Structure 1
Amino acid sequence: MKYKLSLRQKIVITFFILFSIVILVSILGFLNYNRLNTTIHILEKKESLLNNILESRRYEKNFFITKDISNLKIAIEFLNKGKIQINELLKEENSDFLKKELVLIENYEKEIKNFITKYNSSLSLENINMTSIQEKGRLATIELEKAINEKRSEIKKIIQSSRIFLLISISSFVLLAIITFLFLVKNVNKPLKNIEKAIQKIVSGDYESIPKIKTGDEFENLAENINNLLKEMRLRNRQLLQKEKMAALGTLTSGVAHEINNPLNNISTSLQIILEELEGGDIKLHQELLEEALRQVDRAKDIVKSLLEFSRESSFNPKEVNFKTLIQKTLKLIQGEIPTHLQIEIKVPENLIVKLDSRRIQQVLLNLILNAIQAIDNNPGKIIIGAETVNNDQDLRFYIEDTGPGIPKENLSKIFDPFFTTKDVGAGSGLGLAVSQGIIEQHGGKIEVESELNKGTKFTITIPKAIIV
């Protein structure tokens, strides 16, 4: 079994690597800085040592100009300072050069002291070798200047390497930042976006599965659990939809029975007449009666077919349909429920072709029209069913408006809640408007209600990009 890292482990490992690199770069940077600082410190001491030797040489030259022996004594003092500085430097940098330089300074000092002794005994520069003292001073100075130049070159190299190190460090940090960003996008941001889209789809009533997330961490498990939840919600939604259909069919039973009973009575009457006049009857009349019976059979078949289509369980399947024809089919289903004192007006263009799930929208129409009929009850009233195109002829907006008693303000915010009803027990399931809202949201649309007491109620539904030009 292939081991998969969890998101937490991935993040911990990523930040551990980043932290380790930062620590490593910091240590290397500190060591480089410390080396530079030490080198500069040694250079400063060597330059100070060189200044002391140069001062001793200056007093040496003064002696040869002024013949004042005190100048040589001052030169020795500066050389003593130089020896002290070398001994201090040897504690920090135990190099052969410093030991050699110390010997050169001591030889220079010894030569000066010998010169002073000879000069004090003769008080004359005759027969005294002056070039020896000058040569030893020159050697001590030249060697030290070479060492200082080497240190300066070393500092330049350290500064140059520091620049390269800084450039590499910045480049590494930028690269690491890009890698971390891509890691977070792939392993955190992208899965979160997919899950966000899934939640938005759920909110809008779309319960289709979201794409699988193959990250091998908590997001993959979360996406799998969301898909399991969506599967269960699709099942529950279908069950709820079917339950509401069955409830609506229960409401339609008496009206459908009446609608079917009328053609059956006509068929029965026609057949009785034919049987009574079977012998010697008018053949043309018999033919007309049989044709009428066939028409009544077709009428009954249409009613049963519409009823079966409405009650059949189906998945979400938007198709092109004439919206006015869909309204007329819906009204045909509830013909028996429409009282004679109620007027229904249809304000829908003849050629309004839309793309939607006709069965589900038919259920919405059925719920809203039946609610309007029940609201008006036995009082004279009117129901207007209208439709129009909006948003540059892209969106469909239709409405069902009645002249009923209206909905109290305190109930307007509750009417879309499942199982909320103001009807008597057994007279309604309280699911009609909740299911209708779910169907409209499944189409990406919205349903709104306006109501005024004693004047009526208007439900307006908008479905985006439903118009077929």
Structure 2
Amino acid sequence: MNIRQKIVMSIVVAFAGMGLLGSISYDHLLRIGEALRLAEVVDDLSNDILEVRRYEKNYLLYAMDEDYRESLRFVGKSLDIIRGIISPDATGQAPAKGEADFIGLRDQLIAYRDAAAQLAETAGSTPPTAVEKAQAALREQGRELVATSRHIKQVQRDGILHIVDNLKRQLLFSTLTLIFLGIGFSWVVGRRIIIALHLIEDTTRQVATGHFQAIDLPPGRDETRDVVKALNRMIKELDKRQNQLLQEKKLASLGVLTSGIAHQLNNPLNNISTSCQILLEEDIGKNDAFVAQMLDNIHHEVLRSRDIVKGLLEFSRENEFTMKPTRLGDLVERCVGLVSAQLPADVDIARRVPEEMCVPLDSQRMQEVFLNLFLNAAQAIGDHPGTITVTAERDEPAGQAVIRVEDTGPGIDPEHQGRIFDPFFTLKDVGKGTGLGLSVVFGIIKKHGGTIIAESEPGRGAAFVIRLPLGREACPQARTEPQQEAPA
């Protein structure tokens, strides 16, 4: 049984125990309420019997018929109260518990009424000894009535006290039981959790010092085992990411080397370009059309190579973050020229960026953003024909430039869209990506004061929407020198 099941079971047991406790307590309270109502009725009955005795004494002293009638009225009232207490089917059957005393009191009241009637009949015409005997019988019946009513009253009080004592004992026992069960459950479950937490604490301390060593799985099949498994996966992933970071450092060093090589390539490219110009101006270039065409091709390829080398130099150069008004269309064209050689032949880049759109940005950093997005889009399209579309427009009410980079790839699953900008998160095969590109893109856009979001429906491609603040400064005039547009 795992920890979750233990917790659920303990909660169920606790609720069942509280429900049972509440039911028993509620039953006791109902019984107390019924006993209190009966005690009120018994108290009224006792008072009526005392009134019977009072009018009896007045009648024996003053022999007034009014006292006799009042005494019989209270006898009748007491009998009515007893009839309301005793069950209708109690006659002729064994009395229910608690009703025997009331039945006895009822019989005594009937006997008292008969004795009072007999006394009234003998008064005035019977010898004094018979009257005295009737009076003595009436007094005796009255004393028995009072004694029985007091007994019933005391029994009702004792019953209420007994119910209250039972309720107190039940509450005390239930509370102690719940306390002991809670302590036992806390010790059993908490002990396993604390042991697992100590194990995880020791392991994370080792990971912090650079020791990526997996943990032995604990016995059992509860959540602590799952946590240790997850921790082992994290240790394995951290080890892999550390190796990837080392690879990134190597690539950074390679970028420095590339910058040096690009500088060295500029000289031979300049010499080749100059030689081609000289040959084109000589007679050999003027008289032979085929040679002239070849020399012209060489010249154009040298210009193209020079642009590539220039892009490499700009990309590898580390500058401070400097924002200045930049023509977005020129930046996109430059990025397309840099990335075109790495795209498959059947992947095109369509550009719909207004020429006059000017946005304050750091050209080098935004160049890195577009290169990452273009390469990711090309890798998402894969070996199939496809199109990467770059569009830009002004959102005047928001004061932003809205840039969209869309592809015709398979799209991004909904469960991955929330993590697409997380560092080291990648959907590419092992060895084909580090998961840092979009994280870098997110950081650069954020540094520009903008936002970037991913929009995608599975099977319908993906779109990255960038929003950058529009500036008030105008861009410098566009260069008039011709540029060779790289094929998309």
What TM-score, normalized to structure 1? 0.47
What TM-score, normalized to structure 2? 0.46
